[in-house]
Each structure stands twice: as structure tokens, then as C-alpha cells.
A and B are shown apart, each in its own frame.
Chain A
Amino acid sequence: MRKIIAKIVLVIPVVVMGGTRAYAYDVANGFTLDGFGYQDYRQTSANRVDYVGQTGNGVHNFLGLLMVGQLTDRSKLWAQLQANTTNHPNFTWLFLDWQFTDSVTGHVGRVKFPFGLINEYIDNKALQMTLTLPFAVSESADMTYDSYTGVGLDWNTPDTPWGNSLLQGFFGNTYTSPAPILATTYPNNPPVAIGPASATQMQPTTDLHLLGGRVTWNTPLTGLRFMLSGSVTEVGLQPLALTPANYASLMTREYRLMYSAEYRRDGLWVQSEYNLHRFPGGAGYVGIDADSAYVQAGVTVGKFLPYIRAQTVVTNQNLSSNPNFYQQQWSVGSNYALLANLNVRLELDRNHGFAMPIASQGSPYYPPGAMLAPGGGVPALNWNEVGVEMNFTF
């Protein structure tokens, strides 16, 4: 606990130095710098979850820097550098944009993945309502990507009586870690058969030929917007038991579709998304048939923003009654704005099922002997999580 306090104390001066600054630093003519980050502590009553350590609790740190260089009147270079508890500093994305006309912009490089609502600013907790991310944008469960490498085009449509839209299309490649929800067994549970007995365990290696788009509709009702995002990728599969015979490249297609809605105005903030992830099974490998949805709402009361969220995920529709593959969660929490750019959060989550702990551990890719429940034992069907977070921008 002392270590946590010491780390928080170290971070606060950095934030306070920023004061109530609201916009980017103009470091040099045409070059701006924005910083953001968070630090949190989370503890579970049972089961291990994403980033939460062996004993069921964990501290996470994140620091990000967004750099934008104006190259010409029509072109900018964007880069986001980030570091966190588990990864070395790296560029999340780095791309060049070009303004073709007043309403058409192109992108090339490693571009932020325009998919859904929260995924677009997933790294910046200051822009989010809740402490824990919705399952629907979970990277552990392979629900979305962070970025793609390729080209994209944005088109802002003209105004109409029905509002206006932003249409985005993109093409390229994306790289993901092996999708853990192909997991069939869990060390503390009896094996779960999710495919034919002869099925070979496979892990996706590279997602290629990503093709997708998003439509954002800003309705005439100020503050209300809807989005529809979709993508398809070709996925190379690699058998877990690698032999020359089965190494023959297996390619399949992976589909994602996301529906998003948001209303934010005068202190009321409501967000909802539904994500559908399909990875059709085939000879020699098992597919993915996952769905996730959430709705969350918060109301600003002075410096407080209390909120509530309900969400569900099923990581395999064929086994939707098995708690390895489903999870429902109710969350309540509140934000408190200490400063214009410094916010603290407290959140309580009540869970039924443990699909996300399974997904985040990546069994059976996780080293043998890994325990879902702290200290081993059978995972708990009903369990709680509590978290406290401080997030900031500077």
C-alpha cells in the first residue's frame, strides 16, 4: 500500500504542473503535445482477471503522449507513445494524414482503429465514464483491435435535415496476440469440448487484409449519435501441435460488427454498444462465436459523476450455459473531479460467470498450472471486484 501511495504522490506534481490547462501544448510552431495517463488499484473477491495479479489484486500504471506535427497546411503527422505496467514504451499508432478537400481526409501508416465508440479513445481513461472497460471492447477477448497498418479515408457528409455523418473506410493489416477464447479447457475444471473430438487446437497468428468501415451519424438532436462499425480480416491459423504436415497455412475469415449509441448533453451521459465477433469454425480448428453488449449511464452532480452499468458477454454461443464462456456484470461507481484535468474514480462490480478471467488468462496458452482463483481452487461463479483509479491529462 505504501508503494501505491508513493507512486500516486509522484504522479500528482506532474498533473498539478499542468494546472487547469485544457488544450495541447504548442511545443514549437506546428507541433503540439498532449499527455494523459492513469493509475489504478483493483482487487477481486475471487478469480483472476485481466492484469490483476496472482493474488487477485493489482496496480496498473499508464502514461501516454500524443504528438501532432503540422507538416503542411493540408498534412499532419500523428503519433501516440505509451508505456504501462506490462509493456515497454511503444508507439500505439503513428500515421500521416492528408486533407484532400474540406470534407475528405486520407490516412496512411499505423492508424487508430476506427471501430465503435470507446475503442477509439480506449487508452485515455479521462474520456471514459467507468473504471473498468466494457467487455465489448476487451482486447483480451479479442473483441477489437487497437490500430491497423494501412490506408484509410474519412468523408464528412454535407448537412441534411436529418443531421450529418462521418463515413470512414480502411484497408490494411493488423496484428493480434493469439485469441485466447479458443481455449477449450481450464485446469481447475473438467475439460470442455467445444469442437469435434478430432479438432486440432489452433491459434491465429496474423490478421491480414483487414477491410472495414464505420458510419457515424450525428443526429439533429444535439448530443445524440449512432455508429455502425464492421470489419473482416483474413486470419492465418497455426496448429498448436506444429508438425510439417499440419503447418500448411490455413486461412479463414474473421468478422466483427459493432453497433454504438451515445447521448451526452447537460450532465446526462448514456452509452451503449453491441459487439458481434464471428470466426467460423472449420476442419481442424474451432471457431469463435462471441457477443457482448453493455449500457452505461451517468449524471453529473457538481464535481461528481455517479454511474451504473450492466453488461454481458458470451465468448462461445455454442456453450452459452457454461460459466467458462459467459459473464454478466453490474457495476456502480462514481467519478470525482479534483481538478479540471485530474479525476478519481471508485467502482464496484458484481459478476456472474467468469468468461473474462478465462479470456484474459488465455488458457491453454497460459503456462500450465495457472490458477484462475487466487491461490488455486475452483473458480467462483459469483464474485466481486473493487477498484480505485486516478486519471489525468496534461
Chain B
Amino acid sequence: MKRSRIKVASYGFAVWGGLSALMILPAHAQLVAIVNKTVHISHSEVVRIYRSEMNGYKPFMLGDKAAQDDFDRHYLGLARDDLKYLQDRALYAGRSLPPKIVDSVDQMLDAVANTPNGVGYVPLQNVTEQVRIVPENQDGSGNTWR
């Protein structure tokens, strides 16, 4: 009896967790880097900003772990642990703050649109007129990395 209650509770949490994740980010979304409309930077500069190798910008990251991992690995070229090490190193050396976490795609769009020098990432289908997409390639073509 006890075991079945625990099972039911576990399923409940799993379903709730799954739904929550879906509300934040659709599965297999194509993420694109976005910037405030006043910002004109390249793909490689976005990478440097998230690696805390460049000051002067205000990066944001999604609280959703799957989206973080996807962006870190495929766009920034580093695993989460390695990226966090770079960000923490810059923080504790007094050089730059790590990205601010936002809870949803809508919050990300608002934050980037309303923050001078704001940088972030969202699924391609969620991009609005409020922000600018950073082209993936040096020549300005393409807007996703997969």
C-alpha cells in the first residue's frame, strides 16, 4: 500500500516536472542568440561574452537546464561545468558578473529587449521584433547552429 502511494506520488512529480519543462521550452527547439536592438555583435563575441572573456554586455540565461546545456554545448562549445568555471573565475577575480537567470522565454525576450547591451538566447520560433538575432556565420548568413 505504502509502496503504491509512493509510486503514484513519483508519477505525479514526473508528470508535473515534464509539464513544467514544456511550459518553459519546447523540446528540440532551435535556439538562437539574440541581442538588444542597439547591439551589433558577432557570433564569436557572443561566445566570449558567455565565457566571461568580454565585459560591457549583460548576458542572460534560461533557468531550464536542458536549454542551458544545449546552448552551452552547441553554441558556446563548452560543457556546463567548464563554462561555469570560467564564469566563476571571472566573478571571484572581480572582473565580470555571470549571466542572470530568467525563468521563461518571455522573460528572456523582455530582459534582452529592455536591457542596454542585453544578450540572450531563445527558440527561433519565439523571436520577436523586440530583439535582433545574431547571425551564426561570419558572413552574416544563417541564424542557428544546427
Q: Is the interface of A mostly helix, strand, loop or mixed?
A: strand
Residue of B nearest to A20 (CB): B65
Contact A222:B84 (CB < 8 A) given known A95-B94, A120-B93: no
| A130 interfacial contact with B, CB 8 Å | no
Expressed in whole angstroms, the Cα–Cα distance for A121 and B90 within the complex equals: 9
A290 to chain B, nearest CB (A): 24
Cβ proximity bits B36-74 to A, threshold 8 Å, 1 near / 0 not: 000000101100100101111100000000000000000
Residues on A with beta carbons closer than 8 Å to the beta carbon of B81: 300
Contact A124:B92 (CB < 8 A) given known A102-B56, A264-B85: yes
Residue contact B55 to A154, C-beta cutoff 8 Å: yes
Residues on A with beta carbons closer than 8 Å to the beta carbon of B45: 159
- B interface bracket (residues with beta carbon within 8 Å of A): 20 to 34
Residue contact A103 to B91, C-beta cutoff 8 Å: no
| B106 interfacial contact with A, CB 8 Å | no
| A45 interfacial contact with B, CB 8 Å | no
Residue contact A103 to B55, C-beta cutoff 8 Å: yes
Expressed in whole angstroms, the Cα–Cα distance for A26 and B64 within the complex equals: 18
Residue contact A78 to B94, C-beta cutoff 8 Å: yes
Pick the residue among B55, B89, B94, B98 that contacts A156 (CB under 8 A): B55
Expressed in whole angstroms, the Cα–Cα distance for A123 and B93 within the complex equals: 10
Question: Which residues of B84-139 have CB atoms within 8 Å of chain A's CB atoms?
Answer: 84-85, 88-89, 91-95, 97-101, 116-117
Question: Which residues of A109-154 have CB atoms within 8 Å of chain B's CB atoms?
Answer: 111-112, 114, 120-121, 123-124, 126-127, 154
Residue of B nearest to A78 (CB): B94
Expressed in whole angstroms, the Cα–Cα distance for A90 and B79 within the complex equals: 36
Contact A164:B55 (CB < 8 A) given known A112-B94, A264-B82, A266-B82: no
Contact A218:B53 (CB < 8 A) given known A124-B92, A127-B89, A264-B85: yes
B133 to chain A, nearest CB (A): 19
Residue contact B53 to A164, C-beta cutoff 8 Å: yes
A142 to chain B, nearest CB (A): 21
A174 to chain B, nearest CB (A): 16
Pick the residue among A114, A123, A156 that contacts B53 (CB under 8 A): A156
By a beta-carbon cutoff of 8 Å, the part of chain B in contact with chain A is: 42, 44-45, 48, 51, 53-57, 77-79, 81-82, 84-85, 88-89, 91-95, 97-101, 116-117
Other than the given A93-B94, A126-B88, 9 more pairs (CB < 8 A) read A23-B98, A24-B91, A24-B97, A101-B56, A112-B94, A120-B89, A120-B93, A265-B79, A266-B82
